[in-house]
Structure 1
Amino acid sequence: MGCQPSAAPPQTPPETPPQASAQASPQASPQAPPKVYRKEVVVAGSPFQGVHGMAVDGKGHLLASNLLGQTVHSVDLKSGAVSTLVGPPLGGADDVTLGPDGSVYWTGYFSGQLMRRTPDGKTHIIAKDLPGLNSLAFRRDGRLYITQLGRGDTLWEADPEGKKPPRKILSPVGFLNGFEFGKDDRLYGPILLKGQIVRMDVDTGKMEPVAEGFAMPTAVNFDARKEHLYVVDAARGELVRVRLPKGSKEVVAKLPTGLDNLAVGPDDQVYVSNMVDNDIRVVNPADGSVRPLVEARLSVPSGLAVAPEDPDEQLYVADVYAFRRVGGRDGKINQTTRVLSTRLNFPMNVSLSAKHVVLSTAYLGGHSSVQVLDRASGELLRTIPTPNGAQGALELPDGTLLIAEASTGKLVRIDNAEPAKTTVLTEGLSGPVGLVADTEAKEPAVYVTEVGSGKVTRVRLSDGSRQTVASDLRAPEGIARHPDGGLIVAEVGRKQLVRIDPATGQSTVLASDLPIGLPESEGLPPGYIPTGVAVGRSGTIYVSSDIESALYRFVPAP
């Protein structure tokens, strides 16, 4: 996500007009006459960056957790209006619940922290050093239980006051996700690795299956009388009612795939979150009808690409929970490939070659990879695990892949053999994030943004030698080449878009006061959710907004 590293030296931002459009300096480049850019919306934003766990507060609101946006929200159940209860960086919640005294508790998947907001509005860390902290629930007697998932596989009992360290109950569990306690004080929850719902005695750790045959059950919740369970199946897009004690199943509603969690109100209305569609829907279990509560069009737009020969300037969008194709001119979403129900791995960056789309993700905990897709059909051709995380990724003319590892500071090559062989092109970079190729030059090279050092660096492909093109930037992330030869960079630390002349390093502000740059968070590599930049053949510049989950374009004035 767009961050402003403390390692970057303090700089005074250059003087820019307060509007989103800015006049470029006539000294920018002899090849690039000054232009005025008009800011336009391609796809409007959303209050969430993927919505996950939820809890009904009994006061007409729904608490909703927003992991990547690092916030806990309150949603009005009548109007769907969304407000922020806890903002970044402390609000990075994967799941949320209410304690007996009205305190709000949530889990920080990346930070590994269990958080509490007391009724007086104060926020406290009550447990830490639990990477992959995921789900939580209270038992009737006030005991609190939490799980690690992905970066761990453990069920813990936590002290709601934070005075005692967590106590391990069971490990491994089999990836226990969103769980609840029944009237019998047994834990009921989905075991992802087995596709089943189990009942557990938390005092002994003994588990037994309640219902089976799910594709990917991600969460359960009891109805208002705590007699039957509702289950969301993310891969099938189903809300299923499990009748206890026999465990018979009934599909209540068919929804889009990507379901993450659910909450049941006192009137038995079921609130279902979908992280792919970044929305919350309400299901009436009496008749299976579905209505929207909070809607969105994108989830977490980050990396962008556009084919230089495309007159329609169709955008390829790495939307973290989906890969989408969006009309650059009309904002129409033309194609969506979803995580969980396909083999897609949480795309954060995207690039294009003549025949392929290359997607990469810096997600740690088993999901980090580079994936190669056929541009024409969208078929997934190749998945290469990248244990160090992958930021920018390019396919070079000879078919090899070039990967930026922000966490190690390396650029690595991955050949097109099976199994793939990896070699280091260069190392010692400070948070490499964005890549753009210059393979037609006399000495083919790649330009790299270094989010930690504030540099744009040119790396020669033949031997890995480096040359600083521009410095004194703040957290540069996305980068693209303009048809006039200039480099367009999202300078996230100053919330602006700049053009850099690759020959002179001259930097020109094109737009400022942009809604980019979520604050950095513990446990995340540099530039975790990158601000994407792409340039169409018309010279229109496209930028993703992590803060607003939106897409913008900057159109050059005639």
Structure 2
Amino acid sequence: MMHVLRKRGVRLALASSTGLVACALGFFAWQTFYPVQAAEGWNVQVLHNSVTRAASLLPQADGSLLVSRELNGGKGSILRITAEGDRMVVLEGLSKPDGMVAVDGGWAFSQEVGGAPVSMSRDGQVSQLFDGNNVQGLYNDGLHLYAIEDRKGDGRLMRYDWQSGELDVLRSGLTETEGLTRCADGRLLYTEKATGKIRALSEGGNDPVVIEGLRNPTFLLCDQRGLWISEDSSHRARLLRIDGDGTRRTVLSYLKAPQAIVPDGKGGYLLAEGGRDRVLRLTPPAKAKTAQAEASPRVPEA
């Protein structure tokens, strides 16, 4: 009798364990395949599929799109997708190419690995600008190229002078700083992924927190609609927008590791969703811009 009860207990335990495993697998599958949800009035669609580890985006004047594919070990590359959908690798043999910004006559790009330089591609030639360690975010204002390192405790925020070629380290000792952008009020903002904060570079050296309570903030974009923030989370990530009045809005939800967001030149946006290997197109509500959208973006003062 005890033997029978023991066997029955084992069967129940196995059945229970199997059920738990099935539930867990089902939950993760749901998170992976649940469709992206857009806020009311906004429309989202897949523009390009099968773009492995899409990270940074750079629309070109001819209608094509440059996409960095953030693979490690020399397997990363920068891909050009034409307006007709044709694809061509323009740079290969890279390791985790991440940040990418337009420069005069070409573009600059970073590689998020130790000892990799920030480089520039122009007229088919690649030249090294300066060395970095795990450089991720880039921002170009025409006079200077800003670069930020994604490190744990020894990251730097740097500024490269296009005219003199000098490199200044503006901040050091940073942790998991990934994205940066400049807003209309002149402040340069950068993310702290682990703490969920965004700071503003200040002359005094003590950079104030302007936004907090975020989940893994990474790429930033500031434009006439506000401050856009993508969350580098594997499941149920969001694309957020801080309006001109400081209101925080979720524009896209159920994303998987979204990366760079850029204007598409048609009033909408392109978003790299690296976790699903694709590029999304985000279209705003089909109505005239409100006075709020027309206003210069503002983030809360510290």
TM-score using structure 1 length? 0.38
Could you say which residue in structure 2 is the equivalent of 1:207?
Answer: 207
User: Do residues 133 (structure 1) and 131 (structure 2) align?
Assistant: no
Alpha carbons 1:125, 1:162 under 8 Å: kept: no
Letter in 2 for 1:271: L
Measured after TM superposition, the shift of residue 47 of structure 1 is 6.0
In the alignment, structure 2 segments of 5+ residues that lack a partner are: 1-48, 287-302
Match of 1:98 among 84, 98, 102: 102
**Within-5 A mapping of 1:200-349:** 200-201=201-202, 203-223=203-223, 225=224, 227-235=225-233, 236-244=236-244, 246-286=245-285
Match of 1:63 among 29, 41, 66: 66
Aligned-partner Cα distance in 2 for 1:255–1:189: 24
Alpha carbons 1:138, 1:181 under 8 Å: kept: no
Aligned length: 231
Letter in 2 for 1:138: N
Aligned-partner Cα distance in 2 for 1:71–1:57: 17
Measured after TM superposition, the shift of residue 55 of structure 1 is 2.3
Alpha carbons 2:138, 2:179 under 8 Å: kept: yes
Alpha carbons 1:220, 1:231 under 8 Å: kept: yes
Letter in 2 for 1:73: L
Could you say which residue in structure 1 is the equivalent of 2:32?
Answer: none
Could you say which residue in structure 2 is the equivalent of 1:177?
Answer: 178
Aligned-partner Cα distance in 1 for 2:151–2:64: 30
Measured after TM superposition, the shift of residue 132 of structure 1 is 0.8
Higher strand share: 2
Alpha carbons 2:149, 2:157 under 8 Å: kept: yes
Alpha carbons 2:227, 2:241 under 8 Å: kept: yes
Aligned-partner Cα distance in 1 for 2:164–2:63: 29
In the alignment, structure 1 segments of 5+ residues that lack a partner are: 1-45, 288-558
Could you say which residue in structure 1 is the equivalent of 2:125?
Answer: 122
Structure 1 residues 161 and 72 mapped into 2: Cα distance closer, same or farther (>3 Å)?
A: farther
Structure 1 residues 80 and 252 mapped into 2: Cα distance closer, same or farther (>3 Å)?
A: farther
Alpha carbons 1:55, 1:62 under 8 Å: kept: yes
Structure 1 residues 57 and 263 mapped into 2: Cα distance closer, same or farther (>3 Å)?
A: same
Structure 1 residues 59 and 190 mapped into 2: Cα distance closer, same or farther (>3 Å)?
A: farther
Measured after TM superposition, the shift of residue 104 of structure 1 is 0.8
Measured after TM superposition, the shift of residue 138 of structure 1 is 1.1
TM-score using structure 2 length? 0.68
Measured after TM superposition, the shift of residue 144 of structure 1 is 0.8
Measured after TM superposition, the shift of residue 66 of structure 1 is 1.7
Structure 1 residues 162 and 52 mapped into 2: Cα distance closer, same or farther (>3 Å)?
A: farther
Secondary structure, counterpart of 2:133 in structure 1:
coil
Secondary structure, counterpart of 2:177 in structure 1:
coil
Higher helix share: 2
Secondary structure, counterpart of 2:116 in structure 1:
coil
Aligned-partner Cα distance in 2 for 1:63–1:156: 24
**Within-5 A mapping of 1:386-397:** none
Could you say which residue in structure 1 is the equivalent of 2:81?
Answer: 75
Secondary structure, counterpart of 1:59 in structure 2:
coil
Aligned-partner Cα distance in 2 for 1:138–1:173: 20
Aligned-partner Cα distance in 2 for 1:83–1:206: 45
